[in-house]
């Protein structure tokens, strides 16, 4: 192994100031924000490592990354992870678990749905002792990240942030989506032009983050585009971070692998932003993790942290697929129904409606068509908790992942069953019934509770919103990995800032919340 230690600080020859070096690991939804915001300060030097390739926005971007409406879940920009979705592990084959391996991370390949967490989500975090994450403290950072093209600067929305957000007008909905709204209203749901509001039981246009019709407005084409060319920002794509390097309890750099050649890059601070899978994996390979995992791998412990890799949460859904009765023109997710299962959190069930290419589905689509209507009935606030185990010292070997969807000790099966039945009620309600022919679940499946539950066990899918594996918690909380300002317990100079820090997953899609986490972390780093 070739090892080269770079200088932790360097002098700026013009200003004569000493720059503080921060290494950011992962150029995705959180890491891209941190690198961009932190490098706005000329006193900071930022070195960003991303395992995947980098593209400048323009013709050089592959066509797959320029399709703003169909998620790119498989291929050269995916990590290729697989997971056990239900327990016991042998009840289903391993299922692909897409994650973006490209500058911009999953924000470069996803469905461009710009949905926030709710006030109830964050106030629950605050009640657990994490007052820095109350709704009144996170809302300014949600506003900071966006330029809302429909509502502009307001009490709820931002008007000058890097991420453009807008909703597709009615004339750009597919005919089945227009029919879905009528069916929802006919069943007693309200219509809301702004789903960022706090109404319960409403249908409305999905806020989307995209740049015109060309790009997903992820961190690659927004934050990082703005930051390119700054003298104090270094972008290193195609570079795999192996571990954090320590001097005692102090993080002093990272070991990286570039095309099989390893080197140590020194830093004053290290921020892991690799997401709910890679961040706990890097921590474990660095000596921070459960005792049994470190012993099994022969890694000397820096901090014994039982919570690393535990508390894995994701939003489970079951795809309701249909063929439109007429050829559609517009692709993508354009509508959403928010409803409540009767539990503590409002709008804890979601139905996203899309017309989507079959190639963008995370399962085999045998409908005889290249595209289909997909209703995504989702448990937005799941109680089921999974885990991941690091099984190799080789960072290229993925952790063993157990999503544990529909855990029988929770009410998730009942909640998913409830929202799938609502979907089928909608598809059987005029005028939506005249617009689509449902393929699955079939009418036969719907006639029996047990048949539907078995169908759910076999078809439960990931919302692509993995979270929680390095969760926030107070000192002394055995399952906690970071404090509420995201410093790793038991260390100095090491932070985690991505979806893995969530103690409980936010209701609804998580990408915008990850960008918000990046904004919060960057502000704290600049203050330290």
- Catalytic residue numbers read 465
Start-to-end Cα distance in the chain: 34
Please give the Cα distance from 42 to 235 (Å, whole number): 16
CA distance 498 to 494: 13
Helical packing angle, 511-527 and 31-38, nearest 10°: 30
Residue 338 DSSP SS3: strand
Contacts with 340 (C-beta within 8 Å, 6 or more apart), sequence order: 200, 201, 346, 347, 348, 349
Six-digit token pair at 27?
A: 């150029």
CA distance 514 to 517: 5
Beta carbons of 126 and 133 less than 8 angstroms apart: yes
State the alpha helices, DSSP H only, in 207-345. Answer: 223-227, 275-285, 291-297
Q: In whole angstroms, give the CA distance from residue 64 to residue 49.
A: 23
Q: Decide: 320 and 301 in contact? Cβ < 8 Å.
A: no
Distance of CA 339 to the CA centre of its chain: 22
Pair 398, 79: CB distance under 8 Å: yes
Give the integer Cα–Cα distance in Å for 271 and 454: 42
> Do 506 and 486 contact (CB within 8 A), yes or no?
no
Interior/surface letters 375-396, b for 16+ CB within 10 angstroms, e for the rest: bbbbbbbbebbbbbbbeeeebe
The H-or-E segment that residue 515 falls in is: helix 511-527
- Token pair listed for 86: 């239900």
DSSP element (H, E) containing 273: none
Supply the DSSP symbol for 355: E
Give 432's DSSP letter: G
Among 70, 99, 65, smallest CA distance to 82 is for 99
Query: How large is the greatest C-alpha to C-alpha distance in the chain, in angstroms?
Result: 75
């Amino acid at each position: 192994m070739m090892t080269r230690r770079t200088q932790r600080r360097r002098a700026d020859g013009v200003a004569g100031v000493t720059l503080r070096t921060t290494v950011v690991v992962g150029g995705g939804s959180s890491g891209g924000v941190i690198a961009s915001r932190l490098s706005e300060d000329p006193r900071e030097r930022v070195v960003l490592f991303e395992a995947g390739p980098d593209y400048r926005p323009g013709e050089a971007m592959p066509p797959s990354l320029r399709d703003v409406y169909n998620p790119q879940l498989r291929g050269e920009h995916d990590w290729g992870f697989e997971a056990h979705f239900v327990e016991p592990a042998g009840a289903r084959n391993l299922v692909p678990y897409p994650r973006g391996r490209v500058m911009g991370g999953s924000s470069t390949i996803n469905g461009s749905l710009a949905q926030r967490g709710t006030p109830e989500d964050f106030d629950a975090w605050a009640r657990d002792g994490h007052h820095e994450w109350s709704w009144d403290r996170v809302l300014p950072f949600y506003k900071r990240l966006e330029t809302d093209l429909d509502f502009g600067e307001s009490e709820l929305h931002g008007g000058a942030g890097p991420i453009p957000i807008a909703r597709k007008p009615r004339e750009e909905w597919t005919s089945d989506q227009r029919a879905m709204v009528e069916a929802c209203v006919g069943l007693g749901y309200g219509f809301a032009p702004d789903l960022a509001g706090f109404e319960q039981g409403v249908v409305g246009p999905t806020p989307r983050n995209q740049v015109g019709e060309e790009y997903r407005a992820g961190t690659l084409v927004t934050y990082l585009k703005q930051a390119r060319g700054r003298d104090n920002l270094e972008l290193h794509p195609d570079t795999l971070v192996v571990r954090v390097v320590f001097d005692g309890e102090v993080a002093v750099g990272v070991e990286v692998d570039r095309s099989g050649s390893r080197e140590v890059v020194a830093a004053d601070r290290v921020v892991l932003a690799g997401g709910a899978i890679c961040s706990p994996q890097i921590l474990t390979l660095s000596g921070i993790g459960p005792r049994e995992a470190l012993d099994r791998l022969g890694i000397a412990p820096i901090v014994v942290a039982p919570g690393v890799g535990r508390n894995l949460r994701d939003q489970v859904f079951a795809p309701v697929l249909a063929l439109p009765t007429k050829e559609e023109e517009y692709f993508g997710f354009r509508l959403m129904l928010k409803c409540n299962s009767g539990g503590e959190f409002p709008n804890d069930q979601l139905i996203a409606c899309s017309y989507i290419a079959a190639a963008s589905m995370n399962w085999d689509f045998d409908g005889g068509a290249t595209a289909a209507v997909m209703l995504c009935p989702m448990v937005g606030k799941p109680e089921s908790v999974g885990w991941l185990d690091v099984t190799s010292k080789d960072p290229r070997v993925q952790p063993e992942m157990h999503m544990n969807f529909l855990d029988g000790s929770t009410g998730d099966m009942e909640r998913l069953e409830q929202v799938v039945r609502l979907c089928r009620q909608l598809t059987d309600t005029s005028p939506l019934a005249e617009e689509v022919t449902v393929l699955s679940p079939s009418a036969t499946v719907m006639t029996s509770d047990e048949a539907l539950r078995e169908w759910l066990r076999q078809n439960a899918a990931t919302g692509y919103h993995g979270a929680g594996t390095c969760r926030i918690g107070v000192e002394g909380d055995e399952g906690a990995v970071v404090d509420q300002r995201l410093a790793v317990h038991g260390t100095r100079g090491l932070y985690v800032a991505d979806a893995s820090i969530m103690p409980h997953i936010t209701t609804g899609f998580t990408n915008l919340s990850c960008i918000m986490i990046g904004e919060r972390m960057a502000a704290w780093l600049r203050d330290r």
